[in-house]
Amino acid sequence: MGSYVLFQNFFDSDTWTGVALSKTRFRYRAVAVGGTFDILHIGHEKLLAKAFELGELVFVA
């Protein structure tokens, strides 16, 4: 259970990559995101939302 709380807080934080992404002014032209999205959950949603914040084009594979 402790691991779950740490993992949950990891993704709930706005700075989980070490960079405050909501304050990032630079945007990449393209961002690629890979993973298994067969059962979409809130973690996937947050990952994709950050990808769209960072890039003009987002490729999901």
Q: Which of 43, 47, 42 is nearest to 17 (CA)?
A: 47
Q: How confident is the model at residue 14 (pLDDT cuts 50, 70, 90)?
A: low
Contacts of 44 (CB under 8 A, 6+ apart): 35, 37
Q: Predicted confidence band at 47 (pLDDT cuts at 50, 70, 90)? A: very high
Tally DSSP H helices, then E strands, for the chain. 2, 2
Q: Over range 37-51, report the average pLDDT.
A: 90
Mean pLDDT across the stretch 44-50?
91
Is the predicted pLDDT of residue 20 greater than 70, yes or no? no
